[in-house]
Structure 1
Amino acid sequence: MNRTLYRIGNPLRFLLTSLLLMLFTPGFAQQLRGILSGKVTTSDGSPAAYVSVSVVGSRAGVATDENGAFLLTNLPEGEQTLRISGVGFDAVEQTVRVGTTPDPALTVVLRASARQLGEVVVTGQKRRTSSATRTNQELIDIPMAIQVVGQEVIRNQNAFDMATIVRNVAGVNLGGTYGGQNTYQYFNARGFNLNNWQNYRRNGFMIWNMGTHFNDNIESVEFLKGPTAILYGDVAPGGVMNLVTKKPLNYHYRRIETKVGQYGLFRPTVDVSGPINARRTLLYRLNATYEQSNSFRDYVKNKAVMVAPSVLWKITPDLEWNVEYTFKKTTASDDPGLVSPDGTYAGLSKIPYNRYLSEPGVQYGFHDHGVYSTLTYQINSRWRVRNLAGYSYTFRNPASLSTGSIPDPDGRVDRYEYNYRQWFDIRTVSLEILGEITTGPVKHHLFAGAEYNDSFSRYSTGAGYNRVDSTFNIYRPQYGRIRVADDTSPYEKFRFYYIRRGLYVQDQISLLNDRLQFLLGVRFNRTEQGNRYDNESERPETDQPAVAGPVSPRFGLVYKPLPWLSAFASYSKSYEVNAPDPAAENTAQFSAPAPTIGEQVEAGMKGNLLKERLGVTLTAFQIDKKDVFGYVYLDPINPGNADFKYNLYSGGHHRSRGVELDVNGKVNSNLNLIASASYIEAEVVSDPAYRSGNWLGAQPRNSYSLWADYRFDRLVKGLTLGYGVFHRGRFYGTTENITLTRSYTTMDASVGYRIGGLSLLLTVSNLANRKYYLQSFSPTTWEPQWVRRGVLSVAYRF
């Protein structure tokens, strides 16, 4: 075993050794058998969601779920004092009797406080991610690495794109963009690219990654790391990104905000919510955003609009229906980035950072709208049924001009036009039941469901790279000599489709008063993808559907020597269905490629520190991805020389292994902290297209981040200061490993002030004005990242 791999093994041995030691700690023998369950409501009978429920004089505490229900275990038996509190409500203390069986009749009523209402913030490993994990358990009890970037971090960093959010999470990286910062961004996790049509979710619903995702209707962003096939079927093994939207509130909430900044940024937003009727059984929320901005890049600008209304109907105290609608539209300049004059990373310094290589007026057009329904029935305090149904439609017109090769000695380079239209639509429906059963000392957290999802898309016949200019000079650009016309070509005579079906069941068994937990889960899949022709007689013999029906298991172990500390280990599996690509030169050789399989072994520790305010996750993992299916350019150094022709390949074996650390929460009531660090070796084990030992593209060996902000409540009450540092080590832009980039470190700073309902926040990103690049789809093109930029947010809440 080489020394590098030996270093990776040390953290894993440490974690396993720690687990064995904890099994013999005296606390293991302690028997706290008391159980307490109930429901918290407001004075009008509505559920009080996400309020704090704790036992006075102990560390025991939970947050209620969205239906106001709670369950406390591992309590001393006998008479105890229960304390219930939530922002916007007067705290309540109530004497209860704790026994070995829960009292389902316990109900606590909260009354609205006369003080200013605010939002409930749950920190550390006590948070829940029911829309992503589909269970109602706290993070500390789930045997997988999950990181949540919540609204407080998003606001304190003045974030309004996914790249700003992603940099806070260990092992997750911005891979690049399609045609510029304001089109769409793509990411990788634990060394593997997130698939644009599999690994992105919105409240658990699948969404295509073809436009700007983050808008002001997003409450938090959840990252489920590693394979998640048991939850979502066919997904790439790096992880799943889930966007959680803001939900209607049962009190009046109004917030308006405007962000203005350098390079012409103007971004007003509105967020209003409250009851529609007097009984507060009908609630609404409306989020709307408009954005326009220029760029540090010449001729680059964008406009975007988002409107997202939602309505929650509490049909009965146990039955509620939430319906959300979202509309987004973006128009952004095409920005192909830069090409190095000599093909090297160092050569990029010979061309101005703001040099534009496309044509002014060439734009990426995108609009999307969708409606999503969530119907929840609370059978009792332990069981509930949920039905999800959704439909979305997306259209895009990704016009672009790209460079295809290294320039000649005088700076002349070939340019290619890429201009077409494409639409997508997605239908999703699922039915699931989850709950708990207690049989003596054993408790079962059960979850079962069925899911159907289909997605169709269609291209216009204009798709394809066409050489349009071979005289463009990167040193002396002359614009306006060619024009990219609107695509008016007809649509192709076939539609591409995905159809997914899944049946899944999972049981997390708790023993010894929740100290020891075993997770067993399995999903039965049937996935089909291919093309549906308007006239089946025109289908080529090589174009046949790809069908796969693998079984996706998941096993996990959690041990909690203390209520605020857990150790876990797990095994999980993923799969990706592969289909022939008619545009490839050798597609006839791949009529039925095998699915790509991912397997992960993971072990780690989670802790709630500093009175359960600060969550810490330390994880060691290894992912093996086999039967890798992909493409490689016929000329990888100058792909334009072969007019971007490529071959398919199958049978690769890629591996990623590493250690990650995530810290998120509060040090005290004034100091917020989010930090991450990772060391990951993601490389080719064997592959028909790449050399063994090549690094996987866009994955650095090491990276770290730290953001902290402090709110003063004495010297200058209302003042907040923030500072962050973000480091990314060297990486290869693509798996060809042609050019190794330099590492880079950026810094951000912020100063804010709040008085009453008025909030001011000034942030400066890339404080040292560091210039750095990501690599684009082609090994010869690079994307300059944002220079220093100041953004001022002015918000008022009333």
Structure 2
Amino acid sequence: MRQPISLRAAARARSLSAVLIAFLASACLPYPGSDAHAQGRTDSAAQHYDIPPGPLAEALSRYAQQSGAAIVMDAADLQGLRTPGLTGTHGVEEGFRLLLQGSGFAVTRTSAGYLLRKAPGMPPVTALPSITVQASAPLDGTTEGTGSYTTHSMGTATGLALSMRETPQSLSVISRQRMDDQAMVNIEDAVEGTPGIVMQKAGGERVTFYARGFWIRNLTYDGLPSYYDGDTVASPDLAMYDRVEIVRGATGLTTGAGTPSAAINMVRKKPTHDFQMSVTGSVGRWNNFRSDVDVSGPLNAQASVRGRAVVGYQNKDSFVDVVNNESTLLYATLAADLGPRTLLTVGGALQRDNNRNTWGGVPWAADGSDLHLPRNSYFGYDWEFWDKENKELFADLEHRLANGWKIRVGASKRWSRMEYLGTHLLNYGTWSQAGAHYAAPIDTANYALQVSGPFTLLGRRHELIWGANLQKTHRMLAGGQGTLLTSGIDVHNWRPDSLPKPDFDLQMLRNEYRHEQRSTFLATRWNPADRLKLILGARLDWYDYDARTRWMGTTSAADYQVTRHPTYYAGVIYDLDAWHSAYASYTDIFEPQSERTLSGDLIDPIVGENYEVGIKGEYFEGTLNTSLALFRILQKNRAALLADQAGCPANSCYGPTGKVRSQGIEAEVSGELTRQWRVAAGYTWTDAEYVRNDADPGLEGQRFDTAFPQHLFKLSTLYRLSGEWERWRVGGGVQWQSGTYMAGLNAGQPFRIEQKAYAVANLLVGFQASSNLDLQLNVSNLFDKRYYHSLGSHPGWGGVARYGTPRNFLLTARYTF
């Protein structure tokens, strides 16, 4: 039987309306006095802590750092006293009391903080009993096993481990619980569920993500950046990840070169101190079969060495005829305590996706009108494929120094391979078909060193992090293409077996790119007052880029170097009360480009600024987070495809567009409304337009990308029933977006491709059959909405539009040991 809801949980349920009203009106309310505010922060605002075993003096210093409470003490008085550590959720004074229990010491609160004093009548001991307070989420941000839709710590934006409320940028997290509830399989599913982010698929396996009007290229793994391109890199399988962290806006401080759209950080699952194992199997529409095994636990009696392995296999057809995907995942990681303060983590993964799919998708009429083709239409051949493979090795060494400081050294090596043989339709007034055979290997190496910890200045405690990074990427695209058919095409009577497998000149194209980025950065979190926090940072980047291309016998080369490019970051957070904070942030934008001009030169990097202001709320001990943000992004020198390709020495030439501005509003709520009710919802309005366009002045004042919706709303929710129905849970969601379109000229005639506003609803029902067995049914596109998920860019260059997936189901059984 489930335990009765506590008084605190009951109070939470009664206060929901007050929370929502307070969040919207907090900026207008009078601020409480400083004493009352401090009292709320120290007595009632519980936090989550993870204090490792060790000397009591060091534990108290670490606790003071994490809680933000100043303590005056003489470490000599605590010599020889140790603590087994403290994990869990509690208020500041309660945490001090538990840490000091049985030590013969206590703390007294003063106007300047806390004073450590001897407690009369209590003899000290040299070892303290184990103290464990049940926590809803660990301090390091781990979401597995918490059942939460949020996290308590993220470092993706600044490198500092801060809560969502303490970070002056828009944040989202896809927790392990949300992945399981919504039956997410790979990063594409996670992005579809993230507020403010849009996924598009131009044809079969060409995946792109967008936020705030721009392409997302910043993908990191446990904080280490890696090259990502949906054309050539397999979409990461989520079975090996604890959570997906998303920072919207520019993240130049932590990633250096990159887009101002968003950064996605994939956080891997870690080995656990206790044995755990789960076996998961699922079956769905269109012969969708998947199985996963996840095993974790100690490898010796002391649990100082721990391991984890995840194996996954999926084979599925599609609502599109002929299409099939076979995916295999192998993941293994090892964690070893090299000492009481040193942790080594190593691991590796292999993901192989064999995709029987075409290069193209659904074609349009020459004027962009809908041909109303069946959703299962496949305009390729049965010999086409688009295979991808990811391999990686990684290592992380963390050493905790005295007084809360730590050193982290990380390294990773990734190998991605892609090969495809495919076709797509062309419609420049008459139908034709092109094909291509390409291979694209990508090798990326990353190395990072970070030193972080607290320091005291003018009687107040602050935080600092310094880091250095080296990233090397070598990528290549080689192959050939050509025209297969110029007549006899009937899109209403297509036969996938009507054309034999062609041969292409694989020496036609060979593009090779090498780039190296060396960086160093410094960030500080200043604590000038109880309510006020300042985050200041700067980064220097050395960027080397080298490109060698060969197109139909013509060879060209170009390179550039950027030396000591500075990136600045500034953020301010002001606590309005115990639950709400206002913030503002600024960061620079620096994005190298690989596009070439008609003269064959590389276009200079994009530069610009990212501004954001907002208000955040944190309720129920951090289990519910809300945010409201206004943003503005300014970009200069962005490359655009030239309308006139005459004289182009490559297969495509570009020009600088001048200046682009993106601005908008983001609102989000995620976490627990009650003990039984979880929610994740967000609304985004984005207005991106050309402010100046040197290549085409007629675009000035026009929308930058009309295929990106201006309005986007996403909602996911789950409710666990009570009483006799306590084993059941129900949930669902909806995704709505405003209309999108593409317009221009096709063979001299105007065209317009359009998808009007639409909404898609989802449903889930779960049943806890026993303490070990859980069953769940997910229904997607509940009302079988017919819509275009992706439009493509032009009816002439290819039928690459894509229908949204029709109504489908997935039944999942999970057995835990």
| Residue 62 of structure 1 pairs with residue 43 of structure 2 | no
Q: CA offset at residue 493 of structure 1?
A: 7.1
Q: CA deviation at 1:144?
A: 1.1
How has the CA–CA distance of structure 1 residues 674 and 644 changed in structure 2, closer, same or farther, with 3 Å as cutoff?
A: farther
Q: In 2, Cα distance between the equivalents of 1:27 and 1:669?
A: 31
Residue 170 of structure 1 is matched in structure 2 by: 195
**Cα deviation code 1:715-741 (max 9, x no counterpart):** 212101012111011123589994332
Q: Which residue of 1 aligns with 2:663?
A: 657
Q: Does 1:415 align with 2:469?
A: no
Match of 1:587 in 2: 598
Find the residue that maps to 1:134 and give its secondary structure: coil
Q: 1:417–1:468: 8 Å Cα contact kept in structure 2? A: no
The aligned residue for residue 564 of structure 1 is: 579
Number of aligned residue pairs: give it: 730
Once the two structures are superposed, the pairs formed by residues 104-183 of structure 1 within 5 Å of their partners are 109-110=130-131, 119-121=144-146, 127-130=152-155, 133-177=158-202, 179-180=203-204, 183=205
Measure how far apart 1:329 and its partner are: 0.4
| Alignment partner of 1:623 is 2:633 | yes
1:498 aligns with 2:519: no
Q: Percent identity?
A: 19
The structure-2 alpha-carbon separation of the partners of 1:791 and 1:735, relative to structure 1 and needing over 3 Å to count, comes to farther
Map residues 300-379 of structure 1 onto 2, 5 A cutoff.
300-335=323-358, 336-345=360-369, 347-349=370-372, 351-379=373-401
Superposition deviation, residue 475 in structure 1? 1.2
Deviations 1:205-243 (A, max 9, x none): 314232121330011111111111111111011011111
Structure 1 distance, partners of 2:576, 2:47, is: 17
2:710 matched residue in structure 1: 701
Structure 2 CA distance for aligned equivalents of residues 739 and 282 of structure 1 = 57
1:249 aligns with 2:267: no
- Within 2, Cα distance between the matches of 1:269 and 1:676? 31
* Structure 1 pair 61–451 and aligned structure 2 pair: CA distance change class (3 A): same
Structure 2 counterpart of 1:502, one-letter code: S
Q: 1:386 to 1:304 in 2, by over 3 A?
A: same
For 1:652, give the aligned amino acid: G
The offset of 1:125, in angstroms, is 7.2
Structure 1 CA distance for aligned equivalents of residues 568 and 251 of structure 2: 10
CA distance in 2, matches of 1:112, 1:62: 10
Per the normalisation by structure 1, the TM-score is: 0.84
CA contact (8 A) 2:730 2:766 kept: yes
Give the 3 Å change call, closer, same or farther, for CA 708–644 of structure 1 in structure 2. farther
Q: Distance in 1 between matches of 2:458 and 2:501?
A: 72
Rate the CA distance shift 1:487–1:501 in 2: closer, same or farther, 3 A.
farther
**Compared CA separation, residues 65 and 657, structure 1 to 2 (3 A):** farther
How far apart are the structure 2 equivalents of 1:107 and 1:429? 40
Q: Which residue identity does 1:414 align to in structure 2?
A: S
Alpha-carbon separation, structure 1, partners of 2:40 and 2:628: 31
User: What is the aligned partner in structure 2 of residue 676 from structure 1?
Assistant: 682
Which one of the candidate residues 255, 261, 265 is aligned to 1:232? Answer: 255
In the other structure, the counterpart of 2:612 is 602
TM-score (structure 2 length as normaliser)? 0.82
Identify if the C-alpha distance between structure 1 residues 200 and 401 changes in structure 2 by more than 3 Å, giving closer, same or farther.
Answer: farther
- Return the letter of the residue paired with 1:555: A
Contact 1:579 1:593 in 2 (8 A): yes
Q: CA RMSD in A?
A: 3.6
The aligned residue for residue 783 of structure 1 is 802
SS at match of 1:153: helix
CA distance in 2, matches of 1:602, 1:644: 39
Q: Name 1:482's counterpart in structure 2.
A: 499
* Pairs within 5 Å for 1:360-759: 360-406=382-428, 408=430, 413-460=431-478, 462-485=479-502, 489=506, 495-513=512-530, 515-531=531-547, 543-547=558-562, 549-581=564-596, 586-588=597-599, 591-632=601-642, 634=644, 646-687=652-693, 688-689=695-696, 691-697=699-705, 698-732=707-741, 738-754=752-768, 755-759=770-774
Task: Tell me whether 1:204 sits opposite 2:224 in the alignment.
Answer: yes
Q: Residue deviations 1:479-537, cap 9 Å, x none?
A: 33333457783697773111101110011101222x10111111011112123699xxx
Tell me the secondary structure at the aligned position of residue 740 of structure 2: coil
Tell me how far apart the structure 1 counterparts of residues 482 and 563 of structure 2 sit (CA, whole Å): 32
1:27 aligns with 2:33: yes
Q: What is the deviation of 1:352?
A: 1.6
Structure 1 segment 759-774 matched on structure 2, within 5 A: 759-774=774-789
After superposition, the Cα gap between the structure-2 partners of 1:611 and 1:442, relative to the gap in structure 1 and judged at 3 Å, is closer
How far, CA to CA, are the matches of 1:486 and 1:203 in structure 2? 42
How many Å apart are 1:625 and its aligned residue?
A: 1.2
Query: C-alpha separation between the residues in 1 aligned to 2:51 and 2:437?
Result: 48
CA distance in 1, matches of 2:128, 2:601: 61
Offset from partner CA, 1:655-710 (integer Å, 9 cap, x none): 11111011110111111111011111112222224612332333211111111111
Q: Tell me, in whole angstroms, the C-alpha distance in 1 between the residues paired with 2:224 and 2:556.
A: 37
- Which residue number in structure 2 is paired with residue 52 of structure 1? none
Return the letter of the residue paired with 1:741. Answer: Q
More displaced, 590-599 or 235-244?
590-599
Q: Which runs of 5+ in 2 are unaligned?
A: 1-21, 54-58, 74-84, 118-125, 746-750
Q: Call closer, same or farther: CA 1:520–1:734 in 2, change over 3 Å.
A: farther
* 662 and 250 in structure 1: CA distance in 2 versus 1, 3 angstrom threshold: same
Rounded to whole Å, the distance in 1 between the matches of 2:524 and 2:39 is 21
Shift of 1:459: 2.6
CA contact (8 A) 2:587 2:611 kept: yes
